[in-house]
Structure 1
Amino acid sequence: MADQIIRELCSSQKLERDRGFHSFVKHIDSLESEDVNSLEQDVSKLFIEDSSWEKKHGGLMAAKALLTCGKSSDDFAVDMRSQALKYLDNNEFRVRIAAGETLGALCKIVGPAVYENSKSAILEGIRSNLERERLSVSSQQEQEETEKLMEKLSSSPARKSSVDAEQIFHDTAGWKSLETWMKCLQSIVDNCGHLFNDCVDQELLNLIFQALDHTNRFVRETGYYVCASLVSIGVKGKETLSLEEENAVYRHGDQFAKYMAKGLADNWSQVRLASSVATRKFLQSLPTEEAKAKFYPTLIPRMCLNRYYVAEGVRIYSQDTWRMVTDGDGKHLVEKYIDYVVSYYIEATGADNHAVREAACACIAELGSKIDRKFVRPFVPQLLEALLICFNDDSWPVRDAACVACGNFVLCFPEESRSSMPALYPLFYSNLQDNIPSVRQGAALAIANVAQVYGQESHEEILKKVKEGIEGIKNQPETTEKYSDLDKGPATYSVVKKLRDNDMDLHTDKQMYSCGSLAPKMLRGSRGGGCMDHQFRKPSEPWELADGCIHLIAELSHNPELIPTVSDLLPSLAKSASLHHYNHHVNYLETLCKQLPNIAKNLGKRYFKPHLEEFFDSIFYSITCDNALTASAASQCLNRLSGFLGPSILRGRVEQYNPRYMEMLNANQFIAPL
């Protein structure tokens, strides 16, 4: 039976190897000590020089299982230590990983002595692999593959020189066996636990920190996971260790905090996530709040920002970490360290990574809306200045976030923001006619905040802009040529994507990139790649400004002072919706149908009902159009208006206006409340 299990354990198929390992573990549990000795001899035979990598891998996995079960002999443990060290530099990745896990299993039963006896070999293995220039190519095939990748990068039109290609190669390529040496160290630390405290010295830390400073993102990522294991050793059940004498994590805490902060701001999401894992464990390893507070000025601002980071894994993990670490006191911690928080947020608005700039704008908006105003007020001019710069960003999500943040600051700090309004008005209006629908919505919300705060002094200018926007749709050209009006600039997803998706010339025999991993990074003010094609920016068209004005009318209708004035705009709005001479009129009608019930509810029946019939032609036209989104929006519009006015009232008004519309109205049986 043992022979069959070992054959499965050494199979060339992974499924069989996994099944063999589980069978081997079960088999060990059923054996007596003398039978285990015989099994040890069978396992040792797998490590002959000419055996395949599958046999060596199977032997190491079997050794790990035997060591873990607690029935293995001392001689076998000594032999497996030498075998594991031997195969840590094997050509096969899976063998190297298994060798590291075997050393970790030895540490579980023997303790840190295994590390002390292997320290020089492990640290030298990491040190010698940290620099690619020191590596010798292990095979002709590996050398050829490396040269091909370098050549491919150099020939890309996006690369201006071979230096560019070399840097990208060093940033993203695999780093031979460095990762497995690091994982071996991680396995040792995990299995030694708090006993590893005495093994933490400056030599070890310098080597790990060297990995955290490495140009290659995979090396940095692995380094932070090693750090996550290392900072966990400060925890010894629920006992309180002497911070300075016994807790190596606290003793070297300043260095750890410095590198945690660096990783939390890394340009690569995977590295940022690995650092987030290490940061959580680092803070949880410290036994008292006083011990944690020493490192809060460095870590709190970066932890805060990552709660809004665009990568979902980083964002959700950071939000969970924030709840765990602050225990519901996060707001007061931000207020306590507000100087550090504001300084980092402003610094982040100038980051090369557009995702960081977007998150920084969202965080600044949060400061205005959630933090006690007496703490934020001294920093309002600095924060607004940073947001004004982001308002002109190449990346539309950054512009959108900056616009919303400015609107929040105007609402929360009207007097402090007043001096910035001459610069803000043109920027708000620019976003109101942006190519991206969500940007137009954000601008409408921000402008409505301005109207609410500054009252009559702002109403005239804003309403004038709304009227001009709605009436300007008559100047909308019937069609737009393919690319004649496109200027270089940030990506405009909804426009450029529709225009360019089916252009075969743009998608044939072109360089491919892996989700931005090898594409040129999108720096502030640059014109380079990332995951999006932001080489084109389509100039705004009259219908887009009118579309933004619909959103703005819906927002302004919340303001009781503006209800009569907004109701006076409805005839112009209905007239603009009756124009169907341009390609995008269905998109405009979709927005109208979505917002009309909201406008009706905010204005109330008294101000809305006199203008109801003026929109019937546009609504029923939308129901019959070929655009599914517009037709659906029109159908829901009728249902919601029916819920607001009453089914019988709506039916009576429709029948009186045009009896032919009754058939379509009858098809909308469901009445949705507003």
Structure 2
Amino acid sequence: MDFSGVDRALSSLSRRQPPLPAEVLDLSPRLLELLPSQELYENEEYARGILRLMELGSTASVSKEEGEGGAAVAAGVVRWEPLAVGLRLVVDYLEKKTNALLKVVAIHGEEEEEDDDDDDEEDEGTGLGTGGGGVYAEGPRIPKIAGTAGAPTEDDLSKELLATSPPSSNSPVFELMMALPTIIDTNVEHSEPRVRSLVAQTVGAYARYATSLLNWLGSSGNAETSDRGEELTKLEEAIQKVQVGRRSIHSAILISLKKHLEMKEPVRESNNQSKASDGALDDTTGWRALETNLHGLASYIDGCVGRGLLGGSYIAEEISLFQNPSQEEEEKEDVSWFLLGLQHCCVVHVNRHVRAASAAVLGVLVKSCMRCSRDDTTNQALLVDEDSPFRLVLKESLRATLADNWSQVRMAGSVLCRRLVGALIKIHARDAGDDGDDEDVTVFESAVGDLVPMLLPRMCLNRFYLAQGVKLYSQDTWKLVFGTAQGHSPDEEGLHSSEETKGGGGLGAVARNAAPVCRYYSKMCDADNHAVREAACQGVAELAQKVGNHPLYAEYLSPHVTMLLQALLMCFHDESWPVRDEACLACGTFCIAYADECLPELPTIFERWTEQLTDQIWSVREDAAVALGDAVTAYGPEMLEKVLAIVRKSIPAAKDQPSMTREEFKKLQNDAAAHTGNQLYSCGSLAPKLRKGGAGRIGCMTCFIDRPRSPWEATDGCIYLLRELCVRFANGDHTEREDVVMSDTILLPLMRELADVCRLSHYPQSDDLRTTLWKQLPPIAEALGKRRFKGLYLDLFIDLLAKNLGDSSGSGTSQLSIHAAGQCAEELAAQIGIGIFRGRLEDIGGQYAFDRVMEERRGEQHMAAVNGRVMVQ
């Protein structure tokens, strides 16, 4: 079924197999023919056709009918497709009627000016991908909820004057509206998920149009219609009947929601989740009708807009659901289940779709709180008062969803977080004014109050989360809350502080709340999800870099350094190599910022660094070298001697690599027996894969490497380490420490031995080692300087480079190695001078290979320029 448009939905009915009943197949073409009509939404045949289509999808065929191609439709079978298409047509119908009604009010010039501070600038629900709207089902992450039509522009008003007549009491829309409450009530728990999703969209469209009718009826612009007499009375009666239907829909949703909340479900336990097949099923599939009930409720709440309701919002109309009940109300009816049920769905429900949908409901409730007049702040007090039941539910729900194991739920929590924080800041700005702000704290801290220790750490960590949607959205939220640092690009992300930023901006807020932030980061370093552990390590590194190096805020973080280092040391044993990688870099950053505080743990950290230097993953080896360079920067000559000892020991390690031909290596890689009978995993696998220190963990990727480390990888790590030492300390005029200089007495023997080791070719991975050498040699040459490198170091590698350049004639050499050699030759020639470099190659007969490489480079650059011009045109 295709629900992307009403025409596609109707056309889909004829393609369903087995064929649908004959009446459905006859009705859908007739409705398709009516679609181009300009008076479509006042056409009785169209409205009644929609009702008939939904009726055919709600009742079973009474006899056995013969379909096309001889297929039979069994008696008593109810086909859901006509109902789904009918609901899709209803959503479109009501949205168009709502837009027309808004234009009527605008043309009369009587539409109230909306207070921009009372609503969000964006609607952050999530569409269902079916043309309507919904809340966190399928489709994009942050589109608009169903029926949230904006105010018409002047161009819209001038182009669509045909749609500006007021509604009449005999309009077919009222016949449709009278029938919808029963249809919704009947199908809110339909067995087909697509029908339930469309029911949720219909609820939102119904609520939007119903409340828009009240707005129109109450507008002063309708004074011109006072002479209509009996017609106006009938119209008012019809509108009031629609309101009765709207409230009955709301009651049906709440009854169904309460019933599903009372159902027993598997308890969500972080240690056991997804380990059994039944738990995995409950954690991923749609959970009965509870999810779509929440979708429908969110759409209904978002549809209740305008001054037609008390205070102009859902919460104003249903205020008893959000306040502590009095003794009389408790005896009459217990309504506490509503907020507690939403909290239950967000925090402990086993199904991730339910948790995300519940967070979306809370989001539109926050939006509803802001939909009130300037003089009526009762609803907004639900967000501000620290003992408000609604605020307490929001607090616990955000605590859980912003740290959920599923990115879908974490995204829903991030949307809720932005909406709540934005609302609190608006309320604070209105109530406090310019004179009531404390210059020592940010507006965020003043507005959010007791929520800061819970919200701030989660907002910080989600800026590094692996899922791009969560990461980018959280980074954007951070900029909206704390602004952009002075002198920085708006696209630059991170903690910042400037003289123009009140309270030190995000950097000041984090520093003042260092204790909860550090505790949360340390806890997340031991989280079940490897993506969370990786993000936590990145967050810890940011603390060291931004807070630790700040003259005003460094002392705030100092008491927590030991705790953070312990968390990072634990991550060194992680079976996910990205986590080990980030922990390694973070420790180096901490050593620079807090050298004295790190001294007690330095021996352990140094041992972990040297282990990482021989890791199976090349990027881990490189970042271990970066961390060791940071250690030399922090601790000076004593640390340099320890690092040089590691280099001298590990450079010759490739000589111990066992001999193996390329054919033997390829055969080993393609050995079917070695890859048979192993556990298979995919990105969506539900089984625990990545473990932290041997304990079961849940992740979405398998980064586990279990092969033994090879001797050549130690030599490879030393190449990265030599690059770091040269770039940081080779030049005495630009060294990071005046007491540390890599003189030629130290460096030349190491480079000579490295060149000899890289000439070995008795093992197939030697090409990988030379690839690393050619990639790191240009930055080493630039750090040493033209004269120094040309005089002492160029001749060590020139013959090996020339040989690698000439290996492109099918010798079996890796193409990566050949390409890296060509890139290295081009960069070295640019640094030293192309004539001098070619002259050195002539001495060993390598000038022709060099000329060929340079010609290829020029050809590639020409093609890139041509392609660039074509793209611009």
> Which band: TM-score by shorter chain?
0.7 to 0.9
Return the alpha-carbon distance in structure 1 between the equivalents of residues 510 and 569 of structure 2: 23
CA distance in 1, matches of 2:10, 2:399: 46
The counterpart of 2:39, out of the listed 26, 30, 34, is 30
Provide the alpha-carbon RMSD of the alignment.
Answer: 3.4
Give the C-alpha shift of residue 533 in structure 1. 4.8
CA distance in 2, matches of 1:261, 1:534: 29
Aligned with 2:716 (options 547, 556, 565): 547
> Is 1:117 paired with 2:273?
no
Write the mapping of 1:42-441 to structure 2, written as runs, cut at 5 A.
Answer: 42-46=49-53, 47-48=55-56, 49-50=59-60, 52-68=79-95, 69=97, 71=167, 72-111=172-211, 116-130=247-261, 164-193=276-305, 195-198=313-316, 199=318, 200-201=321-322, 202-212=336-346, 213-236=348-371, 240=374, 245-250=379-384, 251=388, 252-286=390-424, 287=426, 288=428, 289=443, 290-328=446-484, 329-371=505-547, 372=550, 373-441=554-622
1:291-337 per-position Cα deviation (integer Å, ceiling 9, x unaligned): 33442221111111011111222111211121122223322221222
The residue aligned with 1:620 is 802
Q: CA deviation at 1:128?
A: 3.1
Kindly tell me: are residues 566 and 32 of structure 1, through their superposed partners in 2, closer, same or farther at Cα, counting changes over 3 Å?
closer
TM-score (norm 1): 0.84
Deviation of residue 55 (structure 1)?
2.1
CA deviation vs aligned residue, 1:351-376 (integer Å, no higher than 9, x gap):
11111111111110000111232222
Q: CA deviation at 1:519?
A: 2.2
SS at match of 1:231: helix
**Aligned partners of 2:832 and 2:645: how far apart in 1?**
30
Offset of residue 235 of structure 1: 3.0
1:513 positional shift: 5.0
Partner in structure 1 of residue 862 of structure 2: none
Structure 1 172/501 Cα, relative in aligned 2: closer, same or farther at 3 Å?
Answer: farther
**1:574 and 1:615 in contact (8 A); partners too:** yes
Give the drift of 1:643: 0.7
Q: Provide the secondary structure at the position in 2 that maps to 1:393.
A: coil
Q: CA deviation at 1:80?
A: 1.2
> Quick check: which has more Rg, 1 or 2?
2
Q: Does residue 556 of structure 1 match 2:725?
A: yes
Q: Does 1:577 align with 2:758?
A: yes
- Deviation of the 1:534 alpha carbon: 5.9
Tell me the CA shift for residue 430 of structure 1. 0.3
Deviation at 1:107, TM superposition (A): 1.0
Distance 1:21 1:527 in 2: 63
Is this contact kept in 1: 2:544–2:593, CA < 8 A?
yes
Identity %: 33
2:615 counterpart SS class: coil
Deviations 1:195-219 (A, max 9, x none): 1122253432222222112112222
Contact 2:575 2:704 in 1 (8 A): no
Which structure: greater helix fraction? 1
1:168 deviates by: 1.8
How far apart are the structure 1 equivalents of 2:90 and 2:41? 17
Say yes or no: does 1:468 pair with 2:649.
Answer: yes
CA distance in structure 2 between the partners assigned to 1:307 and 1:60 by the alignment: 39
Return the alpha-carbon distance in structure 2 between the equivalents of residues 590 and 21 of structure 1. Answer: 68
Alignment check: 8 A CA contact 1:260 1:278 kept: yes
Distance 2:846 2:559 in 1: 59
Counterpart of 2:821, as a letter, is: A
Distance (Å, rounded) in 1 between the aligned partners of 2:250 and 2:573: 53
Match of 2:821 in 1: 634
* 1:54 alignment partner AA: E
Cα pair distance change 1:181/1:383, threshold 3 Å: same
How far off is 1:285 after superposition? 2.5
Deviation (angstroms), 1:455: 1.3
Counterparts of 1:165 and 1:6, CA distance in 2: 38
C-alpha separation in 1, matches of 2:715 and 2:619: 14
Structure 1 residue 535 displacement after superposition: 6.2
Mapped partners of 2:718, 2:358: distance in 1:
51
Partners of 1:224 and 1:275 within 8 A in 2: yes
Q: State the alpha-carbon separation in 2 of the partners of residues 539 and 510 from structure 1.
A: 18
CA shift at 1:512, angstroms?
5.4
Q: What is the deviation of 1:466?
A: 0.5
The answer for the alignment partner of 1:8 in structure 2 is 10
**In structure 1, which of residues 447, 452, 457 is the aligned counterpart of residue 633 of structure 2?**
452
Q: 2 CA distance for matches of 1:55 and 1:45?
A: 9
Alpha-carbon contact 2:273-2:280 (below 8 Å) kept:
no
Contact 2:398–2:413 (8 Å) recurs in 1: yes
Distance verdict in 2 for CA 1:482–1:282, change over 3 Å: farther
**Structure-1 separation of matches of 2:677 and 2:642:** 51
Conserved 8 A contact 2:653-2:715: yes
Question: Cα–Cα, structure 1 residues 640 and 96, in superposed 2: closer, same or farther, change >3 Å?
Answer: same
Q: Which residue of 1 aligns with 2:238?
A: none
Taking structure 2 as the reference length, the TM-score comes to 0.66
CA contact (8 A) 2:275 2:687 kept: no
1:596 is matched with: 777
Classify 1:343/1:28 alpha carbon distance in 2 versus 1 (closer, same or farther; 3 Å). farther
User: Among 655, 661, 665, which residue is 2:846 paired with?
Assistant: 661
Cα distance in 2 between the residues matched to 1:605 and 1:246: 68
**Match of 1:151?**
none
Aligned equivalent of 2:47, options 31, 40, 54: 40
Choose the corresponding residue for 1:525, options 671, 681, 693.
693
CA contact (8 A) 1:476 1:543 kept: yes
Partner in structure 2 of residue 152 of structure 1: none
